[in-house]
Structure 1
Amino acid sequence: MRPIVCVVLLLGTLLHLSHATLAFDQEIDWPSAKSLHDFQARDLSGNLINLEKYRGHVLVLLNGATRSCPVSAKGFKLLQQLKERHGSKGLEVASFVVDGLVKPSGTAEDIKEYVQSTGLTYDVYDKIATDGDAAHPLYKWIKMCLEDKVQAGSKVLFDKNGKIVAKFGPTGSPAGLEEAIEQLL
């Protein structure tokens, strides 16, 4: 009887260890993500950032173009104002850069220059695709959860657990977004 108990314990331990070492691969596993916190993204310096960093914070995420896009420019400014008003209460703001309809957003260095020249103090991530097969896994997941596309200039609101609360279109009411943020803080 004793050898059977040892084998069962050994198998249980191995199963536990193999499960613990299975990592979430966002390129493949994005449909099974539980929250924003399962994903990673590159910052403008090329560093891989774990979006777990937003756990415990309300997050507004914008995807916008940095050049020749008045809707995105307005969105960047709005989010900076929201960050200044509500950052001390737990609001985080982040943006993914996408290419504009008229003109590409440029290189990471161009985007850094834009961020500095406009005084943005929130996290801005490297340029990504948000549509099609080349879309960043986070945006594939967002679109799957919303059952809707996410246009340039759209803002996605996440709760403190990284769950999607709402999407606000590029030209939606800033008051509605701010009211939703205040309810979550």
Structure 2
Amino acid sequence: MTAQNLYSLTANNIKGQKFNFDELKGKTVLIVNVASKCGYTNQYGGLQKLYEKYHSRGLEILGFPCNQFLWQEPGNGDEIQSFCTLNYGVNFPIMEKIEVNGSGASPVYDYLKSQKDQPGKLFGRTRDVKWNFEKFLIDKNGNVVNRFGSSFTPQQLEAEIEKIL
């Protein structure tokens, strides 16, 4: 069953502690499915730069590790956190590893996908997440305002983030 709104959701952080999405009320949020062994992994650096630049103005970034795409996130929570911190200086919240598609998909991703389809090159629009580092941008009222494919760099999102901060 899909959640009624963003703020009714919960997820566990990388340490297994419950995170209530109602803590995000009034914030602009970028949710990204991440992986440490992907061609887009260097986007961690760009995400961290966005976080440093806009966090004080109300931007929150949540990274959700996912191992569904060619097993590019094989690590456990401690390994993932260590990788992010040591290689990219990440200090935005990294959540517990999840699935983003299929019957085992996280309720967070079921909700996000129900709110905004992804444009598809061959078959029109699709709900499924296509690859690592797909991004959902959410406004201060909890509305999913845009969805960006993996090839969109964090820097390419900056103007849109600025508009809704």
> Normalising by the residue count of structure 1, what TM-score does the alignment of the two structures yield?
0.77
2:53 aligned with 1:85: yes
2:129 aligned with 1:150: yes
Q: Which of 99, 112, 119 is 2:89 aligned to? A: 119
RMSD of aligned alpha carbons:
1.6
Q: CA offsets, 1:80-110, max 9 Å, x none?
A: 0111111111111111000142544311111
Aligned mates of 2:25, 2:71 — CA distance in 1: 35
> Normalising by the residue count of structure 2, what TM-score does the alignment of the two structures yield?
0.86
1:94-113 aligned at under 5 Å gives the runs 94-99=62-67, 100-113=69-82
Q: Is the 8 A contact 1:55 1:160 kept in 2?
A: yes
Aligned mates of 2:75, 2:143 — CA distance in 1: 31
Q: What's the CA shift for 1:57?
A: 0.7
Q: Is the 8 A contact 2:43 2:154 kept in 1?
A: no
Hey, what does 1:133 align to over in structure 2? 103
Q: What's the CA shift for 1:58?
A: 0.4
Taking only the aligned residue pairs, the percentage that are identical comes to 29
Q: What's the CA shift for 1:121?
A: 0.8
Q: Which amino acid aligns with 1:83?
A: Y
Q: Which amino acid aligns with 2:54?
A: H
Hey, what does 2:43 align to over in structure 1? 75
Hey, what does 1:15 align to over in structure 2? none
Q: Which runs of 5+ in 2 are unaligned?
A: 118-126
2:27 aligned with 1:57: yes
Hey, what does 1:33 align to over in structure 2? 4
Aligned mates of 1:143, 1:175 — CA distance in 2: 23
Aligned mates of 1:88, 1:104 — CA distance in 2: 30
Distance 1:174-1:111 versus aligned 2 partners, 3 A rule: closer
Distance 1:62-1:115 versus aligned 2 partners, 3 A rule: same
Aligned mates of 1:65, 1:105 — CA distance in 2: 8
Aligned residues between the structures: 153
Aligned mates of 1:103, 1:84 — CA distance in 2: 26
Q: Is the 8 A contact 1:75 1:170 kept in 2?
A: no
Aligned mates of 1:42, 1:79 — CA distance in 2: 20
Structure 1 residue matching 2:42: 3-state secondary structure = helix
**More relative contact order in 1 or in 2 (CA 8 Å, sep 6+)?**
2
Distance 1:65-1:174 versus aligned 2 partners, 3 A rule: closer
